[in-house]
Structure 1
Amino acid sequence: MHGTETIPVRRGRDGALDLLKWLALLSMVLDHLRYVGLSLDGLYVPGRLAFPWFCLAIAANLHRVKAGPATFQWRYLGWLLLFSVISEVPYRMFIEDADTLNVLPTLALGLLVARGWQQKTLFDRGLALIALLLAAVFSSSLMFGFFGVLLPLAMLLVFSRPWYFSVLPGLVCVAANQWQVLLNSGNLVAMLGLATCLIAPLAGLVLLRQVTHVSPPAMRRWAYALYPAHFLLLLLLRKVIT
């Protein structure tokens, strides 16, 4: 991969982007399998790919429609906000000791921040500033906190730059994942988790840049329902196991 290579803007469905979304979903399910009552702590490591790859998918969609209609991005935000509300109850039913909201509010705020940087209009910049302020004030209530909200923007900044700039979103991803706690624990799973956070943006970018001629099932609007649904299915699995 050459140092000046950037993400190609493909027309129509982007098979690599759909593949990235499916892999992010798989990583998320693997991560949450740790809560079904079995000894599966090692799944924490592949689970660290889920959030950065969802953020990368947001950045990729913004990159693809930069000059396109703004209605797409508002629909995107609307679906994120709608399923933020729908998913909260299944999320808390499954993660009984949850001390943050589900991940979708973080992604919605991140979308606003990244869009504000990209569009540069007063309205979009104002919404981005509001999103940043909300992220700062309610950081402890957001999954992945303030740095999680910054991650889609960090991903977007890398799209038109050489691959080695992926260290920026890698560091943001590490900051979003309670790196102090992981570092202090010192165990192998924690260290591998930190390493995965650091390389996840580059791995996702390599996939988008290099994987061609793939055509997994397209993730359309119905895919939003997979988020609350997977909590309910895993909750059922836990009841069966225990």
Structure 2
Amino acid sequence: MHGTETMPVGRVRDGALDLLKWLALLCMVLDHLRYVGLSLDGLYVPGRLAFPWFCLAIAANLQRVANAPVNGRWRYLGWLLLFSLISEVPYRMFIADADTLNVLPTLALGLLVARGWQQKAIFDRGLALIAVTVAAVFSTQLMFGFFGVLLPLAMLLVFSRPWYFSVVPGLVCVAANQWQMLLNSANGVALSGLAMCLIAPLAGLVLLRHGKNASPPAMRRWAYALYPLHFLLLLVVRQITI
């Protein structure tokens, strides 16, 4: 890739985007395997790809449906909010000492912020302002906190800019992942996780650009159910292994 090249703008082919979503889901499952009672701390590193790639998928979807009917855009938010509620119980069953909500409220707020920037209508901008305020006030209750809510917007802004601008969402991703704790740990897994956060946006953008010929199964609305279901399945695995 050369400095004069830009990241993909406009409609992204379904194959590349679906591949990104499947890989993000796989990285999330790998990350959560650390909680089944086995010594799998190294999975923390690929797990750092999951959240930024889900944020990138939101940004890519916003690019693709920028001129879609308003009802379609609200449906996207509605599914996120619905499964935010559905997923909270399985999430807390699996991670009993969780000190934040599940990840979907963060993604829903991030969607509102990114869409407010994109649409520029007063109503959308107002919702984005409310979402930013909620993220600031309730940062400690949100998974990935305030900066996690900003990450979809940071991803969206990189689409029409040269590849090296991906360092911006990379830094936002690092900030969302408690970088102070990672630096203080100063072990190989923590530092590798920090590096993975930094390069995750660029890796995802390269995948979207060069994965055009991919043809994985399409991720449709049923895929939202995979989030709460994977907690229940891993809970079963933990009961078997301990």
**1:211-230: CA deviation from partner (whole Å, max 9, x where unpaired):** 22111000000000000000
Question: What one-letter code is carried by the residue in structure 1 that aligns with 2:123?
Answer: F
Gaps of 5+ in 1: none
Gaps of 5+ in 2: none
1:32 corresponding residue in structure 2: 32
CA shift, 1:120, in A, is 0.4
Q: Distance in 1 between matches of 2:55 and 2:228?
A: 18
What RMSD, in angstroms, separates the aligned Cα atoms of the two structures?
Answer: 0.9
1:16 corresponding residue in structure 2: 16
CA shift, 1:150, in A, is 0.1
1:42 corresponding residue in structure 2: 42
Is 1:8–1:209's contact at 8 Å kept on the other side of the alignment?
no
1:4 corresponding residue in structure 2: 5
Aligned to 2:199, the other structure's residue is in SS state: helix
Aligned to 2:5, the other structure's residue is in SS state: coil
Question: What one-letter code is carried by the residue in structure 1 that aligns with 2:26?
Answer: L
CA shift, 1:8, in A, is 4.4
Question: With structure 2 as the length reference, what TM-score do the two structures score?
Answer: 0.98
Verify: 1:194 aligned to 2:194, yes or no: yes
1:217 corresponding residue in structure 2: 217
Question: What one-letter code is carried by the residue in structure 1 that aligns with 2:219?
Answer: M
CA shift, 1:5, in A, is 2.4
Is 2:9–2:63's contact at 8 Å kept on the other side of the alignment?
no
Is 2:116–2:127's contact at 8 Å kept on the other side of the alignment?
yes
Question: What one-letter code is carried by the residue in structure 2 that aligns with 1:140?
Answer: T
Is 1:106–1:145's contact at 8 Å kept on the other side of the alignment?
yes
Equivalent pairs counted in the alignment come to 241
Aligned to 1:169, the other structure's residue is in SS state: helix
Is 2:99–2:141's contact at 8 Å kept on the other side of the alignment?
yes
Q: Distance in 2 between matches of 1:6 and 1:168?
A: 14
Aligned to 1:198, the other structure's residue is in SS state: helix
Aligned to 1:219, the other structure's residue is in SS state: coil
- Over the matched positions of the two proteins, sequence identity in percent amounts to 81
Question: With structure 1 as the length reference, what TM-score do the two structures score?
Answer: 0.98
2:108 corresponding residue in structure 1: 108
Runs of 4+ in structure 1 displaced over 6 angstroms? Answer: none
**1:87-108: CA deviation from partner (whole Å, max 9, x where unpaired):** 0000000001000000000000
Q: Distance in 2 between matches of 1:158 and 1:28?
A: 23
What aligned pairs does 1:59-138 form with structure 2 within 5 A after superposition? 59-138=59-138
